[in-house]
Amino acid sequence: MPAVVEIRELVRTYRTRRKAEETVALGGVTLTVDDSEVLGLLGPNGAGKTTLVKILSTVLLPTSGTARVLGKDLVSAPQTVRENVGVVFGGERGLYPRISARQNLAFWAALYRLDRRTAQNRCSELLERMGLADRADEPVETFSRGMKQRLHLARGLIHGPRILFLDEPTTGMDPVAARDFRALVRELRQEGRTVFLTTHDMAEAEALCDRVTLIDHGRLVLDEPTRHIGRYLDARECVDFTCDDPAVLAQVPELAFVESVEPRDGGHRALLREPADVARLLVWLIERGVLSARRSEPTLEDVYLRLIGTRAMSV
Amino acid sequence: MNALRVIAAAFRLQLAITRRSPGHLMILLTSPLFSVIFLSLVVSGQRSGTLVNGVLAPGLIGLWLMSLDLAASIIEEERWAGRMELLVASLTPVSLVVFGRIGVVILAGALTFFESWLVAVVGFGADVPLERPGVFVVAILATCFAMAGTATLLAAVFIKSRALHVFQNALTYPFYILGGVLVPVALLPGWLEPLSRVIFLSWSADLLRGSMSGNLPDAWPAWIAMTIGLGAAALVAGFLLINRIIDQSRETAHVGHS
């Protein structure tokens, strides 16, 4: 598959107002994104994800390094890049809340130089597709969070871009709205669009992305196909269990074949040293009356927590 | 052609926003009060020769205040609402959107002239002359264009200003005087005239007064040209400055407030 985004040693630094200190937001990122790929860009707050999206959407200039979108350099040919990329930021911001969804889309269509007839057709088509046709002429401020986000997506698609940047698009959505939104992203991939998704939701990244890239302190710490992500935990096996007996629970980490135990979804997850240890632990737990136990595999969240740790919680 | 379509789209956008949120047109409520003050002075002084001044001054002041208000808020609102980054990422220069949006509010603001006329006729029973209605309409349109061009330039200047409100206030009375809004430029001290003549208001105010009273010189088309020319110069300067500020913001990472 040909690469649609090629990033080489991309650096972005910021200076504070007093120009005394320089902050490195991106410290030499090299990355390639293939055609029709959904790439998940993960990392804690301040890791550099949004900076990377802003550079690739031409909102920011890089300090050094190069980035090419569909073969065009985004510094020397920003207009060509803009024709081919759509940007969708998450949250309430970015729309004109007092006018209708249709009026919002018509405005953005003009900014992307669509002629009037094409704009009208594209607006109606996208409103229908996003499930907003019935409310198309109502003010956006009356919309739910999920509806606003679908309108954001419609706005990002108004000029038919081949590449779409989604920056935390499901933040704050209820589970049903988030599920519907993810279904739309899958459709976009099937249409052959490349999607660049930044998210904090590991389950979302795992469900949607062909590949995940983990970024921390402005540097890539992982770039792997999602299905191979478990390799980063040395292919270790896991056992998820629920145990109400504190004495038994306290013994599990002490077992020779258990590497660590972490709280997980109301229960615990034991990471084992060898695949063969799964049966040993399951037997050990059953003998002590723990009947809710099952084998599982390391998830993206496990990898994330292992590589980033708990710093994601820090400011 | 594309630029005109974008300006028209921005025009329609602002029209839709203004219909639901007419805050920028607040001046239409306060302008009649200015008219009452000016016309009271004119009528109580029994100076019928200055009646035209009393009608025009509130309209021009209203338009100028509206321009300052828009110029100070339009870009900042886009930044706070998280739309500036999306505008920058689009195929269109932000300056075209700014001009289109300002234009529609200023055109609507031209109603202040009608309000002022209404106050004079209904409130004071004055017989307001309008000797050259055709020229008057052209003069109003030229004034609105120049006002929108100047507001576009001010929008760019205000982004750079650290004391926005002080600056905004400082641009009121000096402009009313130098622009010949309160009294004709010809009545000001002679040494002020060169300064006055670089302000489009000085040409448009004289033009509007002349079209109402009938005292228009033969060279009045040149006054229209000066009004439009100065407005266009401000517009071009505004476009260049806004584009430059956007380019700088892409370097310094100050495009939005997020």
The whole-number average pLDDT for the span A169-173 is 79
Nearest CB to B86: which of A60, A94, A110? A94
Q: Does A100 sit within 8 Å of B91, measured CB to CB?
A: no
In this prediction, residue A17 carries a pLDDT of: 63
Same domain as A206, residue A164:
yes
Higher pLDDT, B6 or A105: A105
Tell whether the model's pLDDT for residue A6 goes beyond 60: yes
In a domain, B225, yes or no: yes
Strand order in the sheet with A22-34: A22-34, A3-15, A64-69, A72-73
Residues of A within 8 A of B258 (CB-CB) are: 50, 89, 93
Question: Up-side HSE of residue B134: CA atoms within 13 Å toward CB?
Answer: 2
Q: Among A208, A231, A254, which residue terminates a domain?
A: A231
Region of poorest pLDDT, from A283-287, B118-122, B165-169: B165-169
C-beta atoms surrounding A24 within 10 Å: 15
pTM: 0.81
pLDDT mean over A311-315: 43
Rounded distance between C-alpha atoms, residue B207 and residue B201, angstroms: 9
Residue B176 lies in a domain: yes
Say yes or no for a CB contact (<8 Å) between B255 and A14: no
Domain of residue A270, CATH code: 3.30.70
Q: Which of A231, A247, A276 is the last residue of a domain?
A: A231
Determine whether the interchain pair A111/B87 forms a contact, defined as Cβ–Cβ distance below 8 Å: yes
Q: Is B5 on the interface with A (CB under 8 A)?
A: yes
Residue B242 lies in a domain: yes
Question: If you ran DSSP here, which 8-state letter would residue B121 be given?
Answer: I
- Chain A contact for B104 (CB, 8 A cutoff): no
Q: Is residue A303 part of a domain?
A: no
Cβ of residue A103 closer than 8 Å to a chain B Cβ? yes
From the list B97, B246, B40, the residue with the least C-alpha distance to B160 is: B246
The domain total for chain A is 2
Q: Does residue B79 belong to any structural domain of this protein? A: yes
CA–CA–CA angle A133, A134, A139 (5° rounding): 90
User: Does one domain contain both A142 and A85?
Assistant: yes
A contact test, residue of B84, B86, B97, B104 with most A CBs within 10 A:
B86
pLDDT tier, B257 (very low <50, low <70, confident <90, very high otherwise):
low
A106·B12 Cβ contact <8 A: yes
- Chain A CB contacts of B21 under 8 Å are 98
The distance of A160 to chain B (nearest Cα, Å) reads 13
Q: Do A58 and B88 touch (CB under 8 A)?
A: yes
CB-based contact, B4 to chain A, within 8 Å = no
Residue A124 lies in a domain: yes
Question: Which site among B7, B24, B85, B92 would you substitute to test the A interface, given the most A Cβ atoms closer than 10 Å to its Cβ?
Answer: B85
Best of A15, A49, A60, A117 to disrupt the B interface (most B CBs within 10 Å) is: A60
Nearest to B6 among A79, A106, A110 (CB): A110
Give the ipTM of the model, two decimals please: 0.82
Q: CB of A69 within 8 A of CB of A11?
A: no
**Considering the domain boundaries, does residue B258 fall inside one?**
no
Helix, strand, coil percent content, chain A, rounded in steps of 5: 40, 30, 30
The domain in which residue B239 lies consists of 2-252
Say if B227 falls within a structural domain: yes
Q: Is residue A205 part of a domain?
A: yes
Same domain assignment for residues A202 and A288: no
Whether residue A248 sits in one domain with residue A204: no
Give the chain B residue whose CA is nearest to the CA of A91. Answer: B82
| Radius of gyration of chain A measured on its C-alpha atoms | 23
How far off is chain A from B52, nearest CA to CA, in Å? 39
Q: Which of A13, A18, A76, A107 is the best residue to mutate to test the B interface, defined by the most B CB atoms within 10 Å of its own CB?
A: A107
Of B2, B20, B250, the CB nearest to A60: B250
Q: Is residue A309 included in any domain, yes or no? A: no
Interface test with A, best of B14, B90, B92, B257 (most A CBs within 10 A): B90
How far separated are the first and last CA of chain A, in Å rounded? 39
CB spacing of A87 vs B86 below 8 angstroms:
yes
Q: In this structure, what are the phi and psi dihedrals at residue A253, rounded to the nearest 5 degrees? A: -65, -20
Tell which wins on pLDDT, A105 or B158: A105
**CB contact, 8 Å: A57 with chain B?**
yes
**Contact list, A58 vs chain B (CB under 8 Å):** 88-89, 250
Query: Could you tell me if A159 and A139 lie in one domain?
Result: yes
In a domain, B209, yes or no: yes
Q: What are A152's two structure tokens?
A: 């954001």
Question: Is the pLDDT score of A233 beyond 60?
Answer: no
A190 and A255 both lie in a single domain: no
> Domain span at residue A266?
237-297
Verify that A224 and A251 share a domain, yes or no.
no
Average pLDDT, chain B: 86
Q: Do A78 and A215 belong to one domain?
A: yes
Q: How many CB pairs under 8 A join A and B?
A: 95
pLDDT of residue A112: 94
B46 part of contact set with chain A, CB < 8 Å: no
- Span B158-175, mean pLDDT? 79
Task: Tell me what pLDDT residue B207 has.
Answer: 93
In a domain, B110, yes or no: yes
Identify whether residues A165 and A51 lie together within a single domain. Answer: yes
Q: Say yes or no: A218 and A101 in one domain.
A: yes
Least confident of A66-75, A143-152, A258-267: A258-267
Choose the most confident range, by mean pLDDT, from A3-12, A212-221, B32-41, B44-53.
Answer: A3-12
Q: Is B97 on the interface with A (CB under 8 A)?
A: yes
Nearest CB among A61, A85, A110 relative to B9 is that of A110
Closest residue to A82, CB basis, from B16, B91, B255: B91
Contacts (Cβ under 8 Å, ≥6 apart) of A262: A268, A269, A271, A305
Does some domain include residue A20?
Answer: no
Tokens 């004289």 correspond to: B206
Q: Is the pLDDT of residue A300 over 60?
A: yes
Flag whether pLDDT at A303 surpasses 60.
yes
Whether the predicted pLDDT of B248 surpasses 70? yes
Q: Give me the number of domains chain B comprises.
A: 1
